[in-house]
Amino acid sequence: MDVAIIGGTGYGAVELLRFLHNHPHVQVKKVISHSNSGTELAEVYPHVVDIIDIQMAELDVDSLAQEVELVFFATPSNVSKNIIPTLVDKGVRCIDLSGDFRLQDGEKYQTYYGEEIASQTYIEKAVYGLPEVNKEAIKHASILANPGCYPTATTLGLIPSIEQELVDRSSIIVDAKTGVSGAGRSLSLNVHFSEMNENFKAYKIGVHKHIPEIEQILSERANGDIQVIFTPHIVPMTRGIMSTIYVDMKDNYSTKQLIDVYQAYFQDHPFVRVRREGVFPSTKEVYGSNYCDIGLYADERTGKLIIVSVIDNLVKGASGQAIQNMNIMYGWEETTGLDQLPIYP
Amino acid sequence: MDVAIIGGTGYGAVELLRFLHNHPHVQVKKVISHSNSGTELAEVYPHVVDIIDIQMAELDVDSLAQEVELVFFATPSNVSKNIIPTLVDKGVRCIDLSGDFRLQDGEKYQTYYGEEIASQTYIEKAVYGLPEVNKEAIKHASILANPGCYPTATTLGLIPSIEQELVDRSSIIVDAKTGVSGAGRSLSLNVHFSEMNENFKAYKIGVHKHIPEIEQILSERANGDIQVIFTPHIVPMTRGIMSTIYVDMKDNYSTKQLIDVYQAYFQDHPFVRVRREGVFPSTKEVYGSNYCDIGLYADERTGKLIIVSVIDNLVKGASGQAIQNMNIMYGWEETTGLDQLPIYP
Amino acid sequence: MDVAIIGGTGYGAVELLRFLHNHPHVQVKKVISHSNSGTELAEVYPHVVDIIDIQMAELDVDSLAQEVELVFFATPSNVSKNIIPTLVDKGVRCIDLSGDFRLQDGEKYQTYYGEEIASQTYIEKAVYGLPEVNKEAIKHASILANPGCYPTATTLGLIPSIEQELVDRSSIIVDAKTGVSGAGRSLSLNVHFSEMNENFKAYKIGVHKHIPEIEQILSERANGDIQVIFTPHIVPMTRGIMSTIYVDMKDNYSTKQLIDVYQAYFQDHPFVRVRREGVFPSTKEVYGSNYCDIGLYADERTGKLIIVSVIDNLVKGASGQAIQNMNIMYGWEETTGLDQLPIYP
Amino acid sequence: MDVAIIGGTGYGAVELLRFLHNHPHVQVKKVISHSNSGTELAEVYPHVVDIIDIQMAELDVDSLAQEVELVFFATPSNVSKNIIPTLVDKGVRCIDLSGDFRLQDGEKYQTYYGEEIASQTYIEKAVYGLPEVNKEAIKHASILANPGCYPTATTLGLIPSIEQELVDRSSIIVDAKTGVSGAGRSLSLNVHFSEMNENFKAYKIGVHKHIPEIEQILSERANGDIQVIFTPHIVPMTRGIMSTIYVDMKDNYSTKQLIDVYQAYFQDHPFVRVRREGVFPSTKEVYGSNYCDIGLYADERTGKLIIVSVIDNLVKGASGQAIQNMNIMYGWEETTGLDQLPIYP
């Protein structure tokens, strides 16, 4: 099957290429980049030299629709919403790694993304691509809204507790930490090596655009409004996200009981690993892979449940999950092309 | 004035030496190390070669008491409690960077430190050395219990809100992150470079020995029992601590109001810097210095106050604060020997 | 085909497992670890939890010889030389990632490895597994001496110049830099995070055990004795080796001419990539992959050729090359199981 | 004494401020920044908030000449050459951390700096500020050309051997490695965190502007033309330079003999530390300090001398050396304001 990637110079695109390179059913026919059209991909990413021989191209929606069946958008915010409708109308399925089709509420989109939301018809078509809770809908999606990195780690850590009503919905605090690649390849003083190395920062406290996304998913699972406190931090490393989540338990559960609940919940989901009692995952244990690893601690002293959930922000938090969604959309084994071990150390 | 340092091969000792080297009133007469007695300090720490010419010695309490007026303990847990009583009885003042004299409750000490607490007479003599709240008592201390790194960052971030009853005491969550030097110089797989680099970990969830210390200080300031949820994490960098603290506000305060409260509270305390609205300190901004920098965010949407408090774990979290306490104990200017800028970048 | 790995707790073993996990013709039947026999692999390496379900075992040569066709040794120096002879006599082929069978000269082995060399019969059987120069012999090897990390990067960078007599053999200087994983998983102060982070070190100047290995290979290719100056350094990162090599050109070649020579030399070797003029590879461009990337600069001003050669020390410098050798030994496509892209960023 | 700094937003300026903050004889009266005039310094560098209260100003040469006695230039190339002549004519002494006044040969300046050299009159006035060899001239300098970072580490490592004719002048190879702060604060993909972290790169092979500077100094010391091969690399850390230097010995010296020569040579120079036999300095051992540490290895097998020389690129390689030069220019103790220990770990 022929696919295209739009947004060819970002880290999302380059991770898609890594996984698609080993995918048995798919071939990348086109890489679209507005800023680098005409340039060899290997000029921009020398690690693919002599392996991938693609010249990046300018976007031409009409010819693209004829050439490929599926398009991945690894674009900044507020780009895909202007292109996807046309492609979908021409029968091309789209997987969008950006946030344009994730939110259903136009007002919140306006607040957090600073522009008007995509047209309502297409927002309604969009399926939120968290495979662990939404597999059936994903199969038939024409617009697949691939989840954000923080929302993936955070909601997978919370959903079993929320759905089974083990915790107080009003008490959710998410203290999240990301590696620097989450900030993308665009230059900024904030992620200039000498400023970021040997440094740890909090940022966008109270205003991060993943807040409404997390709240929307959790509210859906809870059949009721959920608000979260969400504080993102940036860690001096390239890859990895950890969400440390604090929530009040409704009863005096033991850690063991909760682990049993989580393991049962995720037993048919190959990319979620719930750790045994006393063990918490670190980000390196999922490095380069599509796993989401979860550790649990029920603090009897205070009645809090502490959840530690880790992913590789560029894989399960972006491109790997996009491949997983593609596999589901086309009826292939969910793990196709994604069955590599985490790279360690 | 002649002083000694016990625990000469740890990072605490080496930071004490750095600050004492530029201190106008003090000379390090002896460095005691059980594991390295007879060895030149510069063999173990080559960065002081040709500058500090000291051979490490075995501990001899009697002669030590005659040679120096003050002893710093930069020892592991459960060491100083067996030595300090004798020294104090001989008229030597002691500053203890370990946790042996911080807790007043013997049972909690037993639980978290795994041994019996020091004898009650000396526990009662001990003064908890957080200068921003305890300056008067510190002046006359014979046993100075220098605070732990996490408790320093955490309690300085909370005390103004607690004392002025702006927040709900029952809702305190502390998500803390430390650089790797907090684990000391002892070898362990956990902080082996290839395991720790490009990694982010949670550890000792619910059982860290700084939990009772934080609770003791806060309870004292609140005149009432306070429990905290405290989750430590380790960051792939050498120095720096950030405590991100979540607490419910009692009223609908604005960020600006709270900043005013904090700035007023710390106005006579040279080492605490409260940042202006919209700005949060990163750990690198206090690197190598004795500052504690605090940022505040009142989240109107959820009623939470989010406090970001950073220190250098080896300085304000250990040796720098010990020097600050010494200055107070001897009536010198609080900032003597500590007035260097943070090193940046 | 069933294989075993001896040395199950080291980084070499864990990288073998990563590549063998995706290899279509091979199954890991046994992982042998003296220090961890009886332990689940996932206890020691949590990143494989729920994926690889193997309990590490004690070595029993007899039963091993019946269970597997091939054994990988990812052991420290001076271990495999005592086991491989027995296995080979029982008809098991062995790939040795340690240095025990690399040197032919017993005296040099004694000097650099501190023990007696393996018995001469088996040293003579051993084939040095640098596929780019030794492919035919590798096909039939019963003992495959897998090259060291520094020798791989260094000799691949030099061989075309040496064989085609473009450079003065007496002038070779190799300034080499490795990531910390080259030091393995054994604890040492040298690679303790707080000592190694934000640090750059030279080590084992003039005495590194890869010196005689590099000299042996180059001397063979040159049909004459070659000595090299070799200085290893350690870089605060986990993976990657760069050898920067200085050698006098015999004539006034241009960079372009030399690149042509190298590209021709390696045209049938899928894992060596020679970069175009003006471009030098960085270590990250081969991260996690089996590539060796080479950049060249002919300095007309001084008549020196400067060669930059990079590999991932754990892949082309160890486990990846071992898989490549296995593929050749069994007549499979050389790239089988190794065709993943470097992971970037 | 009142001084000014021009180039207020770069790392050179901020390190000058750190050392001048603790200097007993000097006060920073003005910080000039074209790009940030009107902005508080603490806006751009939050680590000085509440400590340094300076608003950056636009350059006005006339008023500056009346306000201060000395001006530090921490500017990019080709800036100071247009300003220093006017200031010097008005009686202001200038210390230039940029390269504008280091080279005497206008043609080489044109080749490596891409513009015309400063006017000959002022080039002749300029004194090259390497205090270990040029102290007398420095005392009376009106224009002090502060050495480059690589030239400082490299020439201090070579000068004793060159002056005492222990080595062959025609065989010098310098393999140099720098921390990322050497690239300054200007944004570039090259030093974007996710590109530079866990990476090691060679760059500007054969064309770095420090080549003619190193050759000029060494040629002066040798009374004869010296050419060097110089290859710079960039290390994923913020601070530190190591030059690993290879040179042929004229005779069969032992390491011990050479160390004796070096220790004698530098015995009156407080900032150069020559290590004992078998010990090589790492960059962290001079972190944040003005030391240059040197290790030596005479390789009897090959007749090569290998010299390892380390500095902190921002201190002895820039701002610290500028302060050292200022101290000499004004007759103060050479170490004034620079007597802090390296910060370790």
Domains of chain C: which residue ranges? 2-146+316-329, 150-313
pLDDT of residue D223: 96
pLDDT of residue C8: 81
pLDDT of residue D179: 98
Select the residue of D187, D188, D238 nearest A198 (Cβ to Cβ): D238
Select the residue of B201, B244, B283 nearest A199 (Cβ to Cβ): B283
pLDDT over 70, % of chain B:
100
Catalytic residue annotation of B: 149
Is it the case that residue D190 has pLDDT exceeding 90? Answer: yes
Pairing of strands A93-96, A70-73: parallel
Segment B328-337 shows an average pLDDT of 98
Cross-chain residue pair B192–C194, CB shorter than 8 Å: no
ipTM beyond cut 0.95: yes
Q: Which band of pLDDT confidence, cut at 50, 70 and 90, is reported for residue B226?
A: very high
* Beta bridge partner(s), residue C38: none
The pLDDT tens digits for C173-188 are 999 999 999 999 999 9
Contact with chain C for residue D111, Cβ under 8 A: no
pLDDT of residue A141: 98
pLDDT of residue D196: 98
Q: Report residues of chain A scoring pLDDT below 70.
A: none
B285 interaction partners in chain D (CB closer than 8 Å): 46-47
A310 interaction partners in chain C (CB closer than 8 Å): none
Give all strands (DSSP E) within chain A, no chain letters.
Answer: 2-6, 27-32, 70-73, 93-96, 127-128, 143-145, 173-178, 201-202, 229-234, 241-248, 272-274, 292-299, 304-311
Segment C61-71 shows an average pLDDT of 98
Is it the case that residue D293 has pLDDT exceeding 90? Answer: yes
Q: Which band of pLDDT confidence, cut at 50, 70 and 90, is reported for residue B123?
A: very high
The pLDDT tens digits for D224-236 are 999 999 999 999 9
Cα atoms in the 13 Å half-sphere on the side-chain side of B77: 15
> Mutate which of B44, B47, B287 to test chain D, going by most D C-beta atoms within 10 A?
B47
B177 interaction partners in chain A (CB closer than 8 Å): 177, 200, 233
Residues D21 and B340 sit within 8 Å (Cβ to Cβ): yes
Give all strands (DSSP E) within D55-208, no chain letters.
Answer: 70-73, 93-96, 127-128, 143-145, 173-178, 201-202
The pLDDT tens digits for D297-344 are 999 999 999 999 999 999 999 999 999 999 999 999 999 999 999 999
pLDDT of residue D8: 80
Select the residue of A194, A231, A235 nearest B244 (Cβ to Cβ): A231
Mean of per-residue pLDDT scores for chain B: 97
CB neighbours (10 Å) of residue C252? 9
Cross-chain residue pair B288–D288, CB shorter than 8 Å: yes
The pLDDT tens digits for B267-317 are 999 999 999 999 999 999 999 999 999 999 999 999 999 999 999 999 999
Residues A199 and A333 sit within 8 Å (Cβ to Cβ): no
Which chains reach chain C with 3 or more Cβ–Cβ distances below 8 angstroms? A, B, D
Mean of per-residue pLDDT scores for chain D: 97
- Residue C224 burial class via C-beta count within 10 angstroms: exposed 0-12, middle 13-18, buried 19 and up: exposed
Cα atoms in the 13 Å half-sphere on the side-chain side of B319: 29
pLDDT of residue D133: 97
pLDDT of residue B8: 81
CB neighbours (10 Å) of residue D243? 29
Is it the case that residue C37 has pLDDT exceeding 90? Answer: yes
Select the residue of C46, C198, C281 nearest A285 (Cβ to Cβ): C46
Cross-chain residue pair D193–A198, CB shorter than 8 Å: no
d(CA A272, CA A261): 13
Tokens read off for A185: 């390849």
pLDDT of residue D184: 96
Domain B150-313 listed as CATH 3.30.360.10: yes
Contact with chain A for residue D46, Cβ under 8 A: no
Segment C157-168 shows an average pLDDT of 98
Contact with chain C for residue A280, Cβ under 8 A: no
The pLDDT tens digits for D106-152 are 999 999 999 999 999 999 999 999 999 999 999 999 999 999 999 99
Could you give the angle at which helices B149-163 and B131-139 cross, rounded to 10 degrees? 100
CB neighbours (10 Å) of residue A133? 18
The pLDDT tens digits for D158-176 are 999 999 999 999 999 999 9
Is it the case that residue C114 has pLDDT exceeding 90? Answer: yes
The pLDDT tens digits for C242-286 are 999 999 999 999 999 999 999 999 999 999 999 999 999 999 999
Cross-chain residue pair B22–D284, CB shorter than 8 Å: no
Segment C187-199 shows an average pLDDT of 97
C284 interaction partners in chain A (CB closer than 8 Å): 47
Contact with chain D for residue C295, Cβ under 8 A: yes
Domain A2-146+316-329 listed as CATH 3.40.50.720: yes
Q: Which amino acid is at A255?
A: T
Cross-chain residue pair B47–D285, CB shorter than 8 Å: yes
Respond yes or no on whether the N-terminal peptide bond of residue C147 is cis (omega within 30° of 0).
no
